[in-house]
């Protein structure tokens, strides 16, 4: 059975067509530079082993979706799985989408205004264009719905949660779940007996405490802004700072731009939001780049340590995402803090590209696992089908 995975971002659309039994990728693609009013976009499509990169004469999500459906039509599509950023408390698992679910999705669009409306729109368009397929929504937030109240409630009046749904939701859930399950497979141990800390590090960054296969805490919150400093997002800081900015001349839009697009690695370094560029400069002695690296190490170390305490220990620490998978120096500097807990890194393994990078004598396993949200979405769709 061929399942089309659709990941619609605010200005992009990615897809993979995956044969569910073999889990083979039949086709993949990216449309970048999409927005209302655009007349062209960058298109990268690979069918089989043949990549095609060009500029397409259209620039909207709707036109891109039409183009991708035409690109995979020869294979046939039995089902689609759509990444939806925010499911709120309404959706705690993958759901088959019908008109009633579409209506519910539209009512919670305010929770992720840059993403959910586009996710929902692409779902609606796919349903119209592929009427013979089953269509499913897979939520970034669903995996974190197992968090207890003590983890997801803020120190705000309880009525704000009850009346407006203001609480920690967490994101990157699909990949946190995938790498936790994959870690259990690699370690050949049942996930039900494992305590795992998963570190999804990239342009967006979050850490998750996974106990017995369930998320019990995570760093991102009501929005993806909370937690670690990211490519351009600030991460957590004293909210009184935001009030000060608003009182001293910033408009809400300017403040939002500051904390979402001008902060994080870019703002701290003044160099780039790309960690690779920052590390190149740090290795050449750039003070700002080194400061940015040290702040990342400090914040990540702090969250790992707190989750160790929260779970009463840890069996495995997993690194994933563009930075997590490709920055052995960052991993080394973080893990050096946990020798007291019996975590010992094997530096040769750390630089070799293999999954298990901890030393044989280490009491805690440390792994590097490539992200694969699309494959996990396929598995979620299959599980939903079988459950139905």
DSSP string, 33-91: S--TT---EEEEEEETTEEEEEEES--SHHHHHHHHHHHHTTT--SEEEEEES--TTT-
Q: Is the pTM of this model over 0.75?
A: yes
Residue 156 scores a pLDDT above 80: yes
**CA separation for the pair 81, 276 (Å, rounded):** 32
Residue 175 has which token pair?
Answer: 């990949």
Given pLDDT bands bounded at 50, 70 and 90, which one contains residue 37? Answer: confident
Residue showing tokens 């035409």:
70
Cβ contact 293:282 at 8 Å: yes
**CA separation for the pair 198, 32 (Å, rounded):** 29
Which residues are part of the catalytic machinery?
140
pLDDT mean over 163-173: 96
Residue 22 has which token pair?
Answer: 């073999």
The conformational region for residue 34 under phi > 0 = left, psi -120 to 50 = alpha, else beta, is beta
Average pLDDT, the chain: 96
What would the pLDDT profile of 214-270 be if each residue is shown by its tens digit?
A: 999 999 999 999 999 999 999 999 999 999 999 999 999 999 999 999 999 999 999
Dihedral sign for Cα atoms in the order 367, 293, 301, 358: positive
Q: What is the pLDDT of residue 48?
A: 83
Residue 253 CB: number of other CB atoms within 10 A? 8
pLDDT mean over 173-189: 98
Residue 179 scores a pLDDT above 90: yes
DSSP letters along 261-323, please? HS-HHHHHHSS-S-HHHHHHHHHTT-HHHHHHHHHHHHHHHHHHHHHHHHHTS-SEEEEEHHH
Given pLDDT bands bounded at 50, 70 and 90, which one contains residue 38? Answer: confident
**End-to-end alpha carbon distance in the chain:** 17
Which residue did the predictor score with more confidence, 387 or 159? 159
**CA separation for the pair 151, 9 (Å, rounded):** 28
Surface-to-core class of residue 264, CB atoms within 10 Å of its CB (0-12 exposed, 13-18 middle, 19+ buried) = buried
Residue 4 scores a pLDDT above 90: yes
Q: What is the pLDDT of residue 322?
A: 95
**CA separation for the pair 195, 213 (Å, rounded):** 8
Three-state DSSP class for residue 372: coil
CB-facing half-sphere around the CA of 383: CA atoms within 13 A: 11
Residue 39 CB: number of other CB atoms within 10 A? 10
Residue 361's contacts (CB-CB under 8 Å, 6 or more residues apart) are 344
Residue 114 scores a pLDDT above 70: yes
Q: In what order do the strands lie in the sheet with 365-368?
A: 214-218, 206-211, 195-200, 316-320, 365-368
Residue 161 has which token pair?
Answer: 């949660």
Given pLDDT bands bounded at 50, 70 and 90, which one contains residue 288? Answer: very high
Residue 388 scores a pLDDT above 70: no
The conformational region for residue 305 under phi > 0 = left, psi -120 to 50 = alpha, else beta, is alpha
Q: What is the pLDDT of residue 113?
A: 86
195-200 vs 79-84, strand pairing mode: unpaired
Residue 112 scores a pLDDT above 70: yes
Q: What is the pLDDT of residue 50?
A: 87
pLDDT mean over 362-374: 97
pLDDT mean over 195-214: 97
134-139 vs 214-218, strand pairing mode: unpaired
Cβ contact 346:335 at 8 Å: no
What would the pLDDT profile of 47-62 be if each residue is shown by its tens digit?
A: 988 899 999 999 999 9
Residue 194 has which token pair?
Answer: 């494992």
Cβ contact 179:215 at 8 Å: no
Strand partners, 19: 2, 24
């Amino acid at each position: 059975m061929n399942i089309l995975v659709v990941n619609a971002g605010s200005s992009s659309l990615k897809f993979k067509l995956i044969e569910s039994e073999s889990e083979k990728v039949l086709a993949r693609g990216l449309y970048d530079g999409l927005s209302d009013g655009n007349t062209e976009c960058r298109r990268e499509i690979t069918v089989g082993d043949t990549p095609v990169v060009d500029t397409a004469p259209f620039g909207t999500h709707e036109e891109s979706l039409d183009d991708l459906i035409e690109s995979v039509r020869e294979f046939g599509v039995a089902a689609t799985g759509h990444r939806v950023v925010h499911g709120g408390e309404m959706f705690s698992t993958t759901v088959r989408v019908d008109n009633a679910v579409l209506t519910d999705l539209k009512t919670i669009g305010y929770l992720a205004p840059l993403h959910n409306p586009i996710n929902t729109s692409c779902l609606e368009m796919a349903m119209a264009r592929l009427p013979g397929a089953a269509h499913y929504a897979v939520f970034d937030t669903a995996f974190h719905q197992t968090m207890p109240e003590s983890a997801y409630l803020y120190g705000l009046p309880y009525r704000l949660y009850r009346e407006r749904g203001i609480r920690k939701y967490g994101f990157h859930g699909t990949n946190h779940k995938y790498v936790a399950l994959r870690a259990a497979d690699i370690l050949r141990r049942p996930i039900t007996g494992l305590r795992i800390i998963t570190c999804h590090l990239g342009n967006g960054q979050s850490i998750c405490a996974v106990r017995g296969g369930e998320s019990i805490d995570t760093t991102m919150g009501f929005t993806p802004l909370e937690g670690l400093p990211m490519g351009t997002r600030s991460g957590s800081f004293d909210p009184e700072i935001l009030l000060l900015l608003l009182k001293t001349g910033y408009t809400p839009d300017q403040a939002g731009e500051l904390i979402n697009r001008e902060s994080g690695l870019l703002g701290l370094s003044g160099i780039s939001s790309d960690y690779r560029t920052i590390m190149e400069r740090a290795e050449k002695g750039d003070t700002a780049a080194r400061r940015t690296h040290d702040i990342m190490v400090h914040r990540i170390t702090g969250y790992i340590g707190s989750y160790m305490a929260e779970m009463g220990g840890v069996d495995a620490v997993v690194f994933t995402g563009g930075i997590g998978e490709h920055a052995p120096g960052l991993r080394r500097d973080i893990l050096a803090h946990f020798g007291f807990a019996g975590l010992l890194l094997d530096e040769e393994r750390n630089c070799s590209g293999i999954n298990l990078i901890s030393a044989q004598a280490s009491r805690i396993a440390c792994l590097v696992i490539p992200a694969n949200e699309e494959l996990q979405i396929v598995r979620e769709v299959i599980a939903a089908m079988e459950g139905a």
